[in-house]
């Protein structure tokens, strides 16, 4: 599941955001996310309560009241920005060419 959110607010700055404004679902158990390359368990450990990325990434659980299970989605742009922040803190990619 992938949802693109387009906001045509004319008051927003005209700068280009390098991160996608897209929500993605956490893949089923044992499967890999096509956008991040991370498996179900790793995404839940990063995005779950107390997870390393939870304070930086928007997460929503879509569940009908009374249902046993729901669908957890996360903001892809937030997660990619978090990965860049972690890489910068670790000093990774310092010599790469900037586009």
> Taking the domains of the chain in order of start, what are their residue ranges?
18-88
Q: Tell me the HSE value of 91 on the side-chain side, using a 13 A CA sphere.
A: 0
Average pLDDT over residues 45-74: 93
Residues 35, 46: Cα–Cα separation, whole Å: 15
Q: Give the three-class secondary structure for 24.
A: strand
Residues 85, 99: Cα–Cα separation, whole Å: 18
More confident residue, 9 or 62: 62
* pLDDT band of 38, cuts 50, 70, 90: very high
First to last CA, the chain: 30
Average pLDDT over residues 17-31: 92
The fraction of the chain above a pLDDT of 90, given in percent, is 66
35: which 2 tokens?
């956008």
The pTM is what? 0.75
């Amino acid at each position: 599941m992938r949802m693109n959110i387009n906001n045509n607010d004319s008051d927003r700055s005209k700068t280009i955001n390098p991160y996608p404004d897209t929500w993605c679902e956490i893949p089923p158990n044992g499967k890999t996310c096509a956008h991040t390359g991370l498996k179900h368990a790793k995404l839940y450990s990063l995005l779950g309560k107390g997870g390393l990325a939870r304070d930086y990434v928007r997460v929503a659980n879509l569940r009908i009241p009374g249902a046993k299970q729901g669908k957890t989605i996360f903001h892809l742009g937030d997660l990619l920005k978090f990965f860049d922040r972690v890489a910068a803190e670790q000093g990774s990619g310092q010599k790469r060419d900037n586009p």
